[in-house]
Amino acid sequence: MEKCRLVPTIKMKPDKKILIITYYWPPAGGPGVQRWLKFVKYLPEFGWNPIVFIPENPSYPIVDESLSEEVSKDVEIIKTKIWEPYQIAEFFGKDNKKFKAGQFDVGKNQSWKSKFSIWVRGNFFIPDARVFWVNPSVKFLKKYLKENRFDAFVTTGPPHSMHLIGLELKKEFPHLKWIADFRDPWTEISYYKHLKLTKFADLKHRRLEANVLKKADITLATSYSDAENFKAKGANAFCITNGFDEVKVKVKVEEKIEEKVRGKIEHPKFTLSYIGVLEQLRNPEVLWNVLNELLTEVRSFKKDLELKFVGRIDDKILENLENSSLKDSILNLGYLSHSEANAEMLNSDLLLITNFPQETSEGIIPGKIFEYLATGNQIISFGPKNSDVKKILSETKAGQHFTYDDTDLVKDFILSKYMDWKTGKLTSNTKNIEQFSRKNLTKKLAELL
């Protein structure tokens, strides 16, 4: 009798193709690049072959070379050149570099140069300063799509100029499914009202936004509230939040727990950390005031507190902190690679996340919260009262959410966590975070496609 032979398993290639049109891609750093970097990583497991279209010479506000290592060698990437006017803005003042990341000086911190640059940005570059990439990209992609078979394409913004590329491609290829992904809203974004728009410019922004929401086959939002707002504007909208990379975080958390058990980690400081970009519009002054009060009221707090910043903190915020009693507690590490930043998250006791105070910002879920969740550390959050962040923290038991007026409640929370840390009782009891793993979120995306 002939022996049965084992037949090697043949790994089938995904049979559907999707084009990802994005401005942010490694070596871009920051949260904006993470979303589609991870979707591209996991989409082949669900039958989709992603091809990524990016600018050849972008002007990224943050660069993180380590993220390039996460791009699979099998991913096809196509590029065209882009012209951006940010050098002109920077001529009027070095602070204008922050415009690249949608940040602005506000109130008394605005110089006349800053005011003028903001006015120009809002009224002449609609929807944003990457708009000059739209026509060259449309021309290139029309030819590319005619020569290559695709089933769907994605535009992801901000910058929302990417969606204008989508509008033109949908006219030429109506059979292709268009997914318009809004990592942040357009006219509802917090800084929109700071753009000093004329009535004409405001109407143009809103008209373009309405066209995108109407013409896209699927509109993706990163928060529950944004999805509902898009539906109210006529979009076929769904929420797929940002998330965390399950395997990488799991390994790091297990390593941290093992080191704690072995007594290798000495943690002499009660460490409150902020990871990311902290701008003036999201400055939690109530927290700084509470910490200053505790420094004077609790004798041991001054020697125990460490206020750690990883990323880019606004110069004026940092200057005010350094002129306060907190100056000796500050550890400002600056921008670190994504993996180094994750390590600093793990080596913390409390993780700070901030949102804009307006009610219109209830739907903003900063992407960093999901990596915060994965560490198991407690989170303190600031933002509007009924925010989506509050909902997530409540469901996962991962921390507490406050408004910018909750002085007494914030003080009680900080003091209780400090006393737990002091007595060795500061533990994690998070739950239900698996729903936010990147792989599970990609599965949800594939089901929509």
List the one residue out of 120, 127, 254 whose CA is nearest residue 196. 120
Domains 16-243+439-448 and 246-432 share a fold: yes
Contact assessment for residue 225 and residue 383, using Cβ atoms and an 8 Å cutoff: no
pLDDT of residue 174: 96
Beta sheet of 399-402, edge-to-edge order: 330-334, 305-313, 270-278, 350-354, 378-382, 399-402
pLDDT of residue 415: 95
> What's the whole-model pTM score?
0.77
Tell me which fold the domain 16-243+439-448 belongs to. Rossmann fold (3.40.50)
List the one residue out of 308, 332, 342 whose CA is nearest residue 67. 342
What's the length of the chain?
A: 449
pLDDT of residue 255: 54
Any idea where the domains of the chain sit in the sequence? 16-243+439-448, 246-432
CATH pick for 246-432 out of 3.30.70.2520, 2.30.130.10, 3.40.50.2000, 2.20.25.90: 3.40.50.2000
CA angle (160 as vertex; 156, 165 as ends), nearest 5: 75
pLDDT of residue 353: 95
Q: What is the pLDDT along the chain (449 residues), one digit of tens a residue?
A: 333 343 343 344 678 999 999 999 999 987 789 899 999 999 999 999 999 999 999 988 888 888 888 898 889 999 999 988 765 555 445 554 544 445 555 555 556 566 666 766 666 778 988 999 999 999 999 999 999 999 999 999 999 999 999 999 999 999 999 999 999 999 887 677 767 778 998 899 999 999 999 999 999 999 999 999 999 999 999 999 999 986 454 445 455 545 544 444 555 899 999 999 898 889 999 999 999 999 999 989 999 999 999 998 999 999 999 999 999 999 999 988 888 888 899 999 999 999 988 777 788 898 889 999 999 899 999 999 889 999 999 999 999 999 999 999 999 999 999 999 998 888 777 888 989 999 999 999 999 99
